[in-house]
Structure 1
């Protein structure tokens, strides 16, 4: 079995989805963790396509650390679309019945660790 590298970049996501022209995009936005550290992230909103209605993605140092999708696609369909392996190494919040499917690739960027997002810093 071939192991899939779950590392995705901004370029990878930009190739899959179109940036939402209506939403504010946060390039180099400030993200504050609960312990007080502040880092620069890109927090980007995308238009959905083919079974995904909407996407918001957070990148740290150009690497995807968190993605939220408004979708009803199965895990298998999402794996194929995103080119990832949904496994125990990822933090998954599956609330598809409410239209939210969230994947956290880096535990540091888990929602429970974040005090304020870039859109809350304005």
Structure 2
């Protein structure tokens, strides 16, 4: 994983909070939202974080977003937009984030808090729900 180069665009915020994101985008009513999702990290630690899925917008076709302690921690976007366009639309700088191509389609995974990088998570909130159903 590599961090992006410092963004030269001025007036971008360092972080985005849930209320700002929710004002910009519509949550997907077809998906389960996790306002207090339980993440099990590799090593067994449990972390509560909010996880939401958003419908198509002018910047992405679909997005999954994790907020930890009220701030954007992880962003997974299905999009044809460039990284620069996404930053401008969200009004947030990715200069301290890890930006990687999305593994399952076109788009990006943007990691602001490495706790929520895929390789650090053992069980996602939706997987916990699936485990309950199987038992």
Normalising by structure 2, we get a TM-score of 0.81
Count of residues paired in the alignment = 121
Q: What's the counterpart of residue 20 of structure 2? A: 12
Does the Cα contact within 8 Å between 2:59 and 2:85 map onto a contact in 1? no
Structure 1 runs not aligned, ≥5 long: none
Q: What's the counterpart of residue 88 of structure 2? A: 80
Q: How big is the shift at 1:38?
A: 0.4
Structure 2 runs not aligned, ≥5 long: 1-7, 130-135
Normalising by structure 1, we get a TM-score of 0.89
More strand by share: 1
Deviates more, 1:64-73 or 1:96-105: 96-105
Q: 2:67 aligns with which of 38, 59, 71?
A: 59
User: In structure 1, the residue corresponding to 2:13 is in which secondary structure?
Assistant: coil
Does the Cα contact within 8 Å between 1:94 and 1:101 map onto a contact in 2? yes
* Runs of 4+ displaced beyond 6 Å: none
1:73 to 1:58, Cα distance in 2 relative to 1, 3 A: same
Larger-gyration structure (1/2): 2
